[in-house]
Structure 1
């Protein structure tokens, strides 16, 4: 399976995982001039900007390790644009990474890292 198909499959499964854990999915694949956010979800008064990283194995480290400083800054800028555009200044925010492991044999597994990084 190529990386694009694996990533799309992982994002779909990640959205279902979040919904099953009490999150409301506000947006998927939100795009702005500054970049893209895989999933924007809310639970209570908190909005989570979720970067989904899907891998078939841990051969090259954890999926979250791929969310480097440069990628984090793009997500932060895009989140700020989303907040301004939607007028959502009265919410709490956080940046999460949802790791999806999808081995060729076996079931997918998930690890949600809340507050994986901060703005600034």
Structure 2
């Protein structure tokens, strides 16, 4: 399985996980000129901007370690576009999460949700 397929499956597993935990998915793969956010989800008055990292193992470190400062800044700028487009500035609480997804044998997924993984 190539990395693109693995990533797409990890994002679907994450969307399912978030919905099971009371979130409503507002957008997936939200793209603007400055960047992309994998999942935007809401729970009550909170909007979570979620970066999903899927791996088969820890050979290259944890998935969250790959969300560098530069990547965080792109996510933050993209989140600002999302909020402006939806007229949500100053109308909701925002948080930046990382979800680590580990592909296990037989199509199983291990999901590690890190709420508030980084700040603006």
TM range (shorter): over 0.9
Cross-structure match for 2:28:
28
Cross-structure match for 1:96:
97
Shift, 1:107, TM fit: 2.1
**Normalised by the size of structure 1, how large is the TM-score?**
0.96
Aligned pair count reads 119
1:107 and 2:96 are equivalent in the alignment: no
Match of 1:76, SS?
A: helix
Runs of 4+ with >6 A deviation: none
For residues 116 and 45 of structure 1, the distance between their equivalents in structure 2, rounded to whole angstroms, comes to: 19
**Normalised by the size of structure 2, how large is the TM-score?**
0.96
The CA RMSD measured in Å over matched residues stands at 1.0
For residues 86 and 105 of structure 1, the distance between their equivalents in structure 2, rounded to whole angstroms, comes to: 40
Equivalent pair of 1:55/1:100 in contact (CA under 8 Å): yes
Query: Unaligned stretches of 5+ in structure 2?
Result: none
For residues 106 and 81 of structure 1, the distance between their equivalents in structure 2, rounded to whole angstroms, comes to: 35
